[in-house]
A and B are shown apart, each in its own frame.
Chain A
Amino acid sequence: MPRIVSLWFGILLCVVASAALAALWQVGTRANTPTRDTEIAQELPTGSELSAHYPVIVRQPAAPPRIELAGQDPQGRVGSVACSTCHTVRPDNLENKTSATLDEFHQGMTFSHGTIACYACHNPQESDSLRLADGSSLPFTNVLTLCSQCHSKQAESFAHGAHGGMNGHWDLSRGPQTKNNCVDCHDPHQPKYPKMIVGFKPKDRFNEPPKTEPQQAGTADHDKH
């Protein structure tokens, strides 16, 4: 029986000793793990200064637009026509501002873009192109220039990547970047960004039912921007 006892002690000793050895070995290997790099160089030559040879591509709208016909032909087909199909033969009402005052065509189109007239942007002389404020013609593909006439702040931000979505590369020495144009996100006739519906929700512990919010009396209007 004492042999069994000493056997037990022996086993116990061996296990403890091996655990201690393993722990020591791990401590030793950890001695050289990285320390946090608090000193990060501030002004190094960067990628874009060295070689920026890939382009920033601004997507272009398909142009010029075509108008879907409301009715069907006798064969039951629907079709679309170019703006110039009608507008070359019809008189222009330079004063018109909404579709509500039109008796034919463009019915039901919502317009909510300030108080500008249709021909502020559309070109009465060349209906398949746009018109700049100085009267010169501008292809539909160059919508960015048209919008920038009034929305210079947005145009400035856009030029610096602070307005509008993008895809591709941040580092132009490694690949190109594609940016949206104005009408990719804004309907030019009602440019306010549309409401969206939330689809995807994580299920984590922060997703418990919301508490009743404390009253924010007096502060609600403080930070309106």
Chain B
Amino acid sequence: MTNIEPNQSADSQASTHGDSPGTDPFTRRAAIKGAFATLGAAAFVAAVSPLRQAAKNTSAVEFMQQHYTELSPEQKATVIARLEAETKEKYGADVTIADDRPIPGTKFVYAINLSVCNGNGKCVEACHRENNHDRSTNQSYIRVIEMPKGTMDMEKGSTTYAGVVPREDKFYLPVQCQQCDEPPCVDVCPVKATWKEEDGIVVVDYNWCIGCRYCEAACPYHARRFNWKQAEVPADEINPDQSYLSNRVRPVGVVEKCTYCLHRTRRGRLPACLEACPTGARVFGNILDKNSNIRWILENKRVYILKEELGTKPAFFYYFD
């Protein structure tokens, strides 16, 4: 037995002295156990490795942050101070992040005059600048669709038109978040990172969103956008007038959407896209106010609801005159 190889020796000893590992630790059983344990541990490490990636982009404090609606005022202040500091660090811009809450007795509604809209795209650009969108992708919450006359089917339109507008055989359909009263995007969110507020605005807690993009798929208006990359915005172009649920610089890997410029509208101002519209096609207001412009339009104009048959109940109307 002197020239027996170590493996065979271990085998024979395991069969004879298997119950006394103290005498010879290297049994087959132990080897198999060790191999599986290593395999299991390796699999676990591989499974959690995205977390290690996330840790590079996320501070521990940020990772442990509560859902927006659960934050106490003190916690909110801390979170906002941290976000302001991060914007200063990453973008070199001094910004103010407010926590704008709904004004009691308001329900925001938007209307666009399709007889007047000429597809010039100034609203798209205004949204891009107002909401600190990524400069390299020209991101915006608004998409203007050039539509053939005779249909309201979004799929028949094109967003790539260029040059002189309006073309005689086309009309122009600006589409952004419709702030639905039955929002499919809210229904599908697995973590409740998006919800509808009292004034009708559907908001996203960018720090709670896990980036699964279910909402993006659920939205029949293609109104949601995913942050594929960290927004690149020069310091002097950052809009410093920000809000937590609105136009603050979003982290990478989360979904965002039009908020009716709540950092403006909840302070009584008009949305940026409306102010930018050179044709005056856009109307914004409080539908609960009987004397509002929006009420007059709904009562006196021919009004169209985009994809009304889906039952999403948009707070967004198109009209003709």
Contacts and interface: CB of A to CB of B under 8 A. Distances in A.
Interface of A: 1-2, 4-5, 8-9, 11-12, 15-16, 19, 29-30, 32-38, 40-49, 153, 157, 160-171, 173-175, 177, 180, 185, 193, 195-204, 206-211, 213-214, 216, 219-225
A34 B118 contact: no
Interface residues of B, number: 95
A111 to B, nearest CB: 22
Interface centre among B116, B280, B285 (most CB of A within 10 A): B280
Contacts of A30: 67, 191-192
Contacts of B119: 198
Contacts of A42: 288
Contact of B148 (A43, A45, A216): A216
B5 interface: no
16 contacts: A2-B33, A9-B37, A32-B70, A36-B186, A40-B200, A170-B268, A171-B103, A195-B166, A196-B164, A198-B165, A200-B138, A201-B124, A210-B158, A216-B150, A216-B151, A225-B320
Contact of B269 (A12, A170, A193, A219): A170
Contacts of A5: 30, 33-34, 37
Contacts of B187: 36
Given A12-B37, A162-B296, A220-B169, A207 B269 contact: no
A48 B30 CA distance: 80
B45 to A, nearest CB: 9
Contacts of A219: 149-151
Q: Is the interface of B mostly helix, strand, loop or mixed?
A: loop
Interface string B200-238: 100000000000000000000010010000000000000
B150 A222 contact: yes
Where chain A touches its partner, the secondary structure class is loop
Contact of A173 (B140, B195, B198, B268): B268
Given A47-B106, A206-B222, A213-B156, A11 B41 contact: yes
